[in-house]
Chain A
Amino acid sequence: MAGSTFHEGLTPLNSAPTQTSDDAHDYYTKGDKIVDAVAPTGPIADRWTTRRFENRLVNPANRRKLTVIIVGTGLAGGAAAATLGEAGYNVKSFCYQDSPRRAHSIAAQGGINAAKNYKEDGDSTFRLFYDTVKGGDYRARESNVYRLAEVSTNIIDQCVAQGVPFARDYGGLLDNRSFGGVQVSRTFYARGQTGQQLLIGAYQAMERQVAAGTVTQYTRHEMLELVVVDGKARGIIARDLVTGEIETHLADVVVLASGGYGNVFFLSTNAMGSNVTAAWRAHRKGAYMANPCYTQIHPTCIPVSGEHQSKLTLMSESLRNDGRIWVPKNRDDCDKDPRDIPEEDRDYYLERIYPSFGNLVPRDIASRQAKNVCDEGRGVGPLVGDFRRGVYLDFTDAIARYGKAGVEEKYDNLFDMYERITGENPYEVPMRIYPAVHYVMGGLWVDYHLQSNLPGLFVTGEANFSDHGANRLGASALMQGLADGYFVLPNTIRDFLADGPFPAIDESHPEVVAAQTSVKERVDRFLSIGGTRSADSFHRELGNIMWEYCGMERTEPGLRKAIDMIRELKQAFWSDLKVLGTGDTLNQSLERAGRVADFIELGELMCIDALNRRESCGGHFRGESQTEDGEALRHDEEFAYVAAWEWGGDSLEGGQPVLHKEDLIYTAIEMKQRSYK
């Protein structure tokens, strides 16, 4: 492959893509290709071992002289802080919550994958790798994904040693189950609270290091700017959310583990505070934002009940193992009590269309089919606009099979949670579900070492783009977060740190002063606009635009319209925002204003990215690209690349993002059209 250094000596199985369409040509400019992601060469199974060996070491005595800033205390950041602390580096850890234990990872319900093959059902590192690349619609980088599958088994060992109470069978050994999109049982779980238990494990390991003095934790601190000196990331500017003080923290290296940006849609399953600010500020300082339009829509959320709603609640995907999904065959039955609709009048549409995967098809497919049946007018539940937006997830068969107690033991709190939110008892009436924004596969571009294109800026967990392609299979984000934090980053960052400590800089350095000043000015600006609308109201409006035009289905005219609408919204935001209170106390309206400002700019880039990518891929369905029977149609010959966008200035001032492409060349796995039929 000409120009690429990371596949040398290997036979590529596909050729480099050549884009012929150019839908977004008036919105962006073209930049250089990315030709080196520093991946090792050689057979895929040896790459990580080789690289671990090649990466330079840092002498234990020198580690404490090296300072590492980690923004985020979720699985990716918490695990990294614990591990780098143990190794003896001087770690500064930041989160906006009052305790690291509350990071959004805590909400993950279903489970975490690992290729343990405890069930002897044919699982292996290669199969997990294969499933992940295929599930991601061949838009992930193969070296990174293989490594993820390879370290997955260590994660389970590590977590068990920490006391994470995974489900066990009667002999006291670990139990596991299967999850959407795969045919082997490789998902480890702790009832419906896997994320909580894993995060508590990482948090406890991190607190142990706080006590040991290697990690200093800064809670209720929000990173508002990246400090870049001589082209290298050297620190952050953070606001102490309690006192309002704008603080400067300098270091040898900065790690962003700040999570995903699904909240750009306003309604999502993410925590209220999840934001893009840390990543976006880094993007504006030169870090590339890759595949921003790749959004995962989760098929099993509790449907929207009204205008007041602040977030959507996920029902774990594991429910699809036992629940059967259906809608009435006839529209006239949609407002009937589902228990009065006889078997022959029900359409178990996933089992019908995809007989070999049935209700366990991957998320993008399950979501799209739910939307399709609702758009046909066969949805159930209350009318939202002109349609009923819900399908049944029915446990009648499971209850008959395992008894109510059996189902209770498997899914306990999920059923209670559903009842609390909807006021309906799911043991008696089938649950109603509908797709919702859940996760983003896009994020800051990183190389094989998880380093962004800005030297000294590493990005881990959901905040980076590298492992999931255009669609993420269930139970693999937790795996990625912990793989990055416990095993990958500690082994890659040392190669970078082997050149440190870097020349000391202090707060009077002009670039540090400039970063400080820009943050202060921005805070003052939010407080002084003096308009009429709250940040939340702009956020809600942005969310509606994004869901309507850049959600499950996207078209060229829709995306163009959305870009115009977002630009107008941006103008309105900066002239009509109203933030009360002051900057020198805890001020939640001010916090939100900053996050919404960044979401607006991100939303615009997402639409441009989606407009450029004239193919259907993973969670991204382009109306213009479908097969005759309405399935998503990829165009590998045009789009088998990572779209890495460089900040090109504010669009209101004529700026345009710059597109850098990284070709996706596979040497171990052949690209195929995905079919679950």
Chain B
Amino acid sequence: MNLTLKIWRQSGPTAPGAIHTYQVGDVSEDMSFLEMLDHLNEDLNEKGEEPVAFDSDCREGICGSCDLMIDGQAHGPEVTTSCQLHMRSFKDGDSITVEPWRADPFPVIKDLIVDRSAFDRIIQSGGYISANTGSAPEANSVPAPRDKAMRAFNVATCIGCGACVAACPNGSASLFLGAKITHLGELPQGQPERWSRVTAMVAQHDAEGFGGCTNIGECTAACPKEIPLDVISQLNKDFRTAVKNGH
């Protein structure tokens, strides 16, 4: 197929950005969206124009590197990552707009690449279970009820891509935060730090400039791992309890 691509180009963090239009031909429906961009980049390189910068690594939907706003939707029209979106979701002659994630705590570095280090800092504030190496008890000495373990697993699948933030009109990272709080809070190992964890992580979330959650639900609709909205209820509930008990 032949496509028209409207891509955000920005040479550096402080440079002004603008949409540039490119034509790309010979696109097969088996290509992933990123392979289609590789193909465009080969063309650009040949023409002496600098290729479009975008993030990706695993290209199989698990590392969370890729982050494209495609036609105004985080990761594009399917519920998946940009690298797992295939061109069979588009048709010949389509015009597609590609932009970076937009949120104040995710400043643009170049073209389609943004800085998501705020997520690491949220984890640093308490998104872990303190377990020094070598101090762990025998793994089966603490059974974890299967339903709780299942829920923990289901939300531990968050890949930290940030689509939830990009999709949210308030730029809130509540889904990301809720997923981690729920993952660790469902497991027996996560109980000792449960309350201090949630207050610390919420404080860091706010300090990074992420917005508050007003229950719009765009986050869960955009999430490639289908993290459910109820992790935000869990987050709020744990936060309330923690505050009430003075954590």
Q: B115 near A: Cβ within 8 Å?
A: yes
CB pair A98 B60 closer than 8 Å: no
Can you list, as one digit per residue, whether each of A250-275 has a CB less than 8 Å from chain B (1) or not (0)? Answer: 00000000000000000000011100
A214 to chain B minimum Cβ distance, whole angstroms, is 12
CB pair A207 B138 closer than 8 Å: no
Chain B residues near A660 (CB-CB < 8 A): none
B130 to chain A minimum Cβ distance, whole angstroms, is 6
CB pair A154 B136 closer than 8 Å: yes
Residues of chain A from 652 to 669 with CB closer than 8 A to chain B in the complex: none
CB pair A271 B49 closer than 8 Å: no
Residues of chain A from 149 to 167 with CB closer than 8 A to chain B in the complex: 154, 156-163, 165, 167
Given contacts A154-B136, A157-B136, contact A168 B35 (CB under 8 A): no
Question: Bound state CA distance, A204 and B179, in angstroms?
Answer: 14
CB pair A585 B12 closer than 8 Å: yes
Question: Bound state CA distance, A471 and B137, in angstroms?
Answer: 33
Chain B residues near A145 (CB-CB < 8 A): none
Nearest chain-A residue to B49 (Cβ)? A580
In-complex Cβ contact of A308 among B31, B88, B136, B137 (8 A) = B31
Q: B94 near A: Cβ within 8 Å?
A: no
Q: B123 near A: Cβ within 8 Å?
A: yes
A170 to chain B minimum Cβ distance, whole angstroms, is 5
- Stretch from A328-336, A415-423, A568-576 at the B interface: A415-423
In-complex Cβ contact of A211 among B57, B125, B142 (8 A) = B125
CB pair A165 B187 closer than 8 Å: yes
Q: Which of A163, A490, A589 has the most CB of B within 10 A?
A: A163
Question: Bound state CA distance, A537 and B28, in angstroms?
Answer: 19
B182 to chain A minimum Cβ distance, whole angstroms, is 11
CB pair B142 A160 closer than 8 Å: yes
Chain A residues near B61 (CB-CB < 8 A): 417
Nearest chain-B residue to A580 (Cβ)? B50
Q: B9 near A: Cβ within 8 Å?
A: no
Chain A residues near B128 (CB-CB < 8 A): 162-163, 204-205, 207-208
Q: A607 near B: Cβ within 8 Å?
A: no
Q: A283 near B: Cβ within 8 Å?
A: no
Given contacts A82-B133, A207-B120, contact A589 B51 (CB under 8 A): yes
Q: A503 near B: Cβ within 8 Å?
A: no
CB pair B156 A197 closer than 8 Å: yes
Given contacts A102-B64, A162-B189, A211-B124, contact A205 B35 (CB under 8 A): no
Given contacts A165-B152, A165-B183, A586-B110, contact A102 B144 (CB under 8 A): no
Given contacts A118-B140, A585-B12, contact A98 B149 (CB under 8 A): no
A18 to chain B minimum Cβ distance, whole angstroms, is 44
Residues of chain B from 170 to 194 with CB closer than 8 A to chain A in the complex: 183-184, 187, 189-190
Question: Bound state CA distance, A83 and B189, in angstroms?
Answer: 19
Nearest chain-B residue to A99 (Cβ)? B120
Residues of chain A from 94 to 120 with CB closer than 8 A to chain B in the complex: 97-102, 104, 106-107, 116, 118
Q: A581 near B: Cβ within 8 Å?
A: yes
In-complex Cβ contact of B143 among A104, A173, A306, A486 (8 A) = A173
Chain B residues near A313 (CB-CB < 8 A): 59-60
Question: Bound state CA distance, A160 and B136, in angstroms?
Answer: 8
CB pair B137 A161 closer than 8 Å: yes
Question: Bound state CA distance, A100 and B57, in angstroms?
Answer: 12
B81 to chain A minimum Cβ distance, whole angstroms, is 10
CB pair A417 B45 closer than 8 Å: no
Question: Bound state CA distance, A271 and B140, in angstroms?
Answer: 34
Given contacts A196-B157, A586-B110, contact A305 B30 (CB under 8 A): yes
CB pair B136 A200 closer than 8 Å: no
CB pair A207 B62 closer than 8 Å: no
Nearest chain-A residue to B87 (Cβ)? A308
CB pair A163 B183 closer than 8 Å: yes
Nearest chain-A residue to B127 (Cβ)? A204
Residues of chain B from 59 to 82 with CB closer than 8 A to chain A in the complex: 59-65, 78, 80
CB pair A172 B62 closer than 8 Å: no
Q: A324 near B: Cβ within 8 Å?
A: no
CB pair A98 B139 closer than 8 Å: no
Question: Bound state CA distance, A86 and B136, in angstroms?
Answer: 14
Residues of chain A from 508 to 550 with CB closer than 8 A to chain B in the complex: 532, 534, 536-537
Can you list, as one digit per residue, whether each of A545-574 has a CB less than 8 Å from chain B (1) or not (0)? Answer: 000000000000000000000000000000
CB pair A174 B139 closer than 8 Å: yes
CB pair B189 A417 closer than 8 Å: no
Question: Bound state CA distance, A196 and B42, in angstroms?
Answer: 32
CB pair B109 A106 closer than 8 Å: no
Question: Bound state CA distance, A397 and B65, in angstroms?
Answer: 37
B88 to chain A minimum Cβ distance, whole angstroms, is 6
B164 to chain A minimum Cβ distance, whole angstroms, is 16
B98 to chain A minimum Cβ distance, whole angstroms, is 16
Question: Bound state CA distance, A106 and B63, in angstroms?
Answer: 6
Question: Bound state CA distance, A190 and B150, in angstroms?
Answer: 10
Chain A residues near B84 (CB-CB < 8 A): 417, 420-421
CB pair A534 B50 closer than 8 Å: no
In-complex Cβ contact of B117 among A99, A174, A308, A310 (8 A) = A99
Question: Bound state CA distance, A159 and B41, in angstroms?
Answer: 41
Chain B residues near A79 (CB-CB < 8 A): 133
Q: A55 near B: Cβ within 8 Å?
A: no
Q: A578 near B: Cβ within 8 Å?
A: yes
Q: B246 near A: Cβ within 8 Å?
A: no
Residues of chain A from 304 to 324 with CB closer than 8 A to chain B in the complex: 305-306, 308-311, 313-314
Chain A residues near B78 (CB-CB < 8 A): 420
Q: A193 near B: Cβ within 8 Å?
A: yes
CB pair B86 A86 closer than 8 Å: no
Given contacts A161-B189, A163-B184, A309-B35, contact A169 B62 (CB under 8 A): no
Chain A residues near B139 (CB-CB < 8 A): 116, 156-157, 159-161, 174
CB pair A168 B149 closer than 8 Å: yes
Nearest chain-B residue to A172 (Cβ)? B143
In-complex Cβ contact of A581 among B31, B38, B50, B129 (8 A) = B50
Q: A141 near B: Cβ within 8 Å?
A: no
In-complex Cβ contact of A102 among B57, B86, B130 (8 A) = B57
B186 to chain A minimum Cβ distance, whole angstroms, is 8
Q: B16 near A: Cβ within 8 Å?
A: no
B63 to chain A minimum Cβ distance, whole angstroms, is 4
Question: Bound state CA distance, A532 and B139, in angstroms?
Answer: 57
Can you list, as one digit per residue, whether each of A422-442 has a CB less than 8 Å from chain B (1) or not (0)? Answer: 010000000000000000000
A-B contact list, 11 entries, CB within 8 Å: A99-B64, A99-B120, A104-B58, A104-B63, A107-B62, A154-B134, A161-B139, A162-B129, A271-B59, A272-B56, A585-B110
Give 6 A-B pairs besides A106-B63, A204-B123, A310-B38 with Cβ atoms closer than 8 angstroms. Answer: A163-B187, A165-B187, A191-B153, A193-B157, A196-B62, A208-B130
5 cross-chain pairs, A with B, having the tightest CB-CB distances, nearest first: A172-B143, A204-B128, A161-B136, A161-B131, A165-B153
Which residues from chain A sit less than 8 Å from chain B, CB to CB? 79, 82-83, 86, 97-102, 104, 106-107, 116, 118, 154, 156-163, 165, 167-174, 190-191, 193, 195-197, 200, 203-205, 207-208, 210-211, 217, 219, 242, 271-273, 305-306, 308-311, 313-314, 417, 420-421, 423, 486-487, 490, 532, 534, 536-537, 578, 580-581, 585-586, 588-589
